[in-house]
Structure 1
């Protein structure tokens, strides 16, 4: 398996862009405002894209194609997935430099697109270079970088799902992968204060956690060690509302819900995770995310059918009985709990 090689430094991205040939830059307004004045070798074209619906991306490749040496992805998940899509379709070398580390999309070989508002993974593309520019990342709002813990912390509930799938559905299981995944989370949780400060050490902890998680999933051959009930509940909510949420904040909330509902099968204690989230500063509270209680209730009511219909990985939502009729493990009990955060 090809290891991910990172280049790290202050002011790294402008240095690289000023020394390469012609390129298209896929980015967002904020990092572009920071970069533009530092470039003596400006991009041949700048693309701002906020929509990863597949039909929009297909239109983009027809409309924007220009002969260049590189595609540069600089932004969050949407910019990086758009850059990966263009690189894949046009067969042009890719350079990725995340301006926000709120999700792990910048590292993944697959491209997250949406078809009828549902997440679908397509393609296979590895960037030629991964540039971690501390100065650039620190320009982003801290709350967005804090959200970067979620695609690592989702391991906590994904592992509980894996235990449930092994015991109830005879799913393949690898103890070494399982233990390694646990260790990735445990190491990250030791860096809560550095992550909160978005210090170089905190950025490195986030980056290392994301790299280790992505490489572990590639080694296993699927996202099983990292993605489970917490992500599927998010997909169900988004499918119902068609609203956009900060991915990491929503996943963090769902991690707490999934861990509580996994009960004795949970691999991590949800109280420990909530304390970690509070130390980091991540905005997991549903009220802070603008999630209406009736929308979250509907997602809890429909998520089991959603997982079956979409043929997602088995786990918590595949059990016949997830919720109690009343009390803290009922749907209303979960809602009362999280809306008191």
Structure 2
């Protein structure tokens, strides 16, 4: 039995439903949070969802700051503003970049963080980790887990369909991440949590069901997706790492992001990585690919502007992105010929 201390950091309360953003003042009061509140958002969101939040928050002392990207310069700027304003709580309302900056600032200045996502594009809405550029690595870093998540389905289902699909893609990746985690536990002795892994796997199964629901009833599909994203984030909080939600499929995505910055959304790259790594793991990659096509996710690299040789290159270097994290790719990774075979067999390249 492992004796090392294991700390589980989970949200205290999740509010989910239509128009819940109109009740934010009530929620903040019930959570015993006091002003001043710093609201971190983006320029587009500020004109839409954030304006509803500002109406709801009423006369609570607050300030609004806009961020353009999730990089260390923005983190430093927002963090300095938060200190000068003497903010007690950081509220992030927006997409992935906004949420990442808000939670990382909250972590650095040790304040509570409230997550109000406006697009269900990845599981960062719940997880205590953030993707921040400029830290010298393409992987997630420790951040502040949300004290509460306020998920307004009406707002989330109004997000661009491509962002919704990306959330499906990111969540499908858990099929691979859990298998990589279990494999590592057998080979390296790494900690593996059965319950936590089951929760992440359940998220992936719900994402699979979303692909049948989204085209029929967008709100119902988005609700299922958001709950899957939340449970995936909770799994990371329980594990104390991104292990249950990020495996070789994410390593492939990170490799592409390094080779071709700005090409494809994160969830789209993870989805393509899921097809490839499902093939390597020997699981039903065709079923995953069919589900992706059904929802409108790209299944070929050229659909998002990645050349065939780029996919092969990414597959050969993916294992080196996080050498401390063992996956199906092993310590040496794939040879060029093996990578080419996998990419062609799955139809990711021609």
Q: TM-score, normalised by structure 2?
A: 0.81
- Determine the C-alpha separation between the residues in 2 that align with 1:292 and 1:303: 16
Distance 1:260-1:62 versus aligned 2 partners, 3 A rule? same
Quote the residue 2:75 is aligned against.
57
Consecutive unaligned residues in structure 2, runs of 5 or more: 1-7, 29-34
Distance 1:122-1:166 versus aligned 2 partners, 3 A rule? closer
Give the total of aligned pairs: 330
* RMSD (Å), alpha carbons: 3.0
Quote the residue 1:115 is aligned against.
134
SS of corresponding position for 1:115: coil
Quote the residue 2:66 is aligned against.
48
- Determine the C-alpha separation between the residues in 1 that align with 2:135 and 2:145: 26
SS of corresponding position for 1:113: coil
- Name which of structure 1's ranges 12-21 and 220-229 shifts more when overlaid on structure 2: 12-21
**Alpha-carbon contact 2:104-2:143 (below 8 Å) kept:** no
Distance 1:287-1:68 versus aligned 2 partners, 3 A rule? same
Distance 1:123-1:185 versus aligned 2 partners, 3 A rule? closer
SS of corresponding position for 1:291: coil
Residue 178 of structure 1 and its aligned partner are, at CA, apart by 4.3
Distance 1:68-1:184 versus aligned 2 partners, 3 A rule? closer
Quote the residue 2:14 is aligned against.
6
Pairing partner for 2:305 from 290, 298, 303 = 290
2:344 maps to 1:318: no
Residue 122 of structure 1 and its aligned partner are, at CA, apart by 3.7
Quote the residue 1:29 is aligned against.
43
- Determine the C-alpha separation between the residues in 2 that align with 1:125 and 1:134: 24
Distance 1:322-1:169 versus aligned 2 partners, 3 A rule? farther
Pairing partner for 2:287 from 263, 269, 272 = 272
Consecutive unaligned residues in structure 1, runs of 5 or more: none
**Alpha-carbon contact 1:117-1:239 (below 8 Å) kept:** no
SS of corresponding position for 2:246: coil
SS of corresponding position for 1:58: helix
SS of corresponding position for 1:6: strand
Distance 1:118-1:50 versus aligned 2 partners, 3 A rule? farther
Residue deviations 1:12-40 (CA, integer Å, cap 9, x gap)? 22442599655332122332221365444
Residue deviations 1:138-197 (CA, integer Å, cap 9, x gap)? 221111012112332111112332354345445454555444543432343233222345
Residue 117 of structure 1 and its aligned partner are, at CA, apart by 5.4
**Alpha-carbon contact 1:232-1:303 (below 8 Å) kept:** yes
Residue 116 of structure 1 and its aligned partner are, at CA, apart by 5.1
- Determine the C-alpha separation between the residues in 1 that align with 2:197 and 2:146: 27
**Alpha-carbon contact 2:128-2:143 (below 8 Å) kept:** yes
Distance 1:34-1:318 versus aligned 2 partners, 3 A rule? same
**Alpha-carbon contact 1:72-1:97 (below 8 Å) kept:** yes
Quote the residue 2:154 is aligned against.
135
Residue 247 of structure 1 and its aligned partner are, at CA, apart by 0.8
- Determine the C-alpha separation between the residues in 1 that align with 2:336 and 2:187: 19
Residue deviations 1:238-258 (CA, integer Å, cap 9, x gap)? 223333531111100011111
SS of corresponding position for 2:40: strand
Q: TM-score, normalised by structure 1?
A: 0.83
Residue deviations 1:54-108 (CA, integer Å, cap 9, x gap)? 2442243225642345322111111001111232333443221100010111211
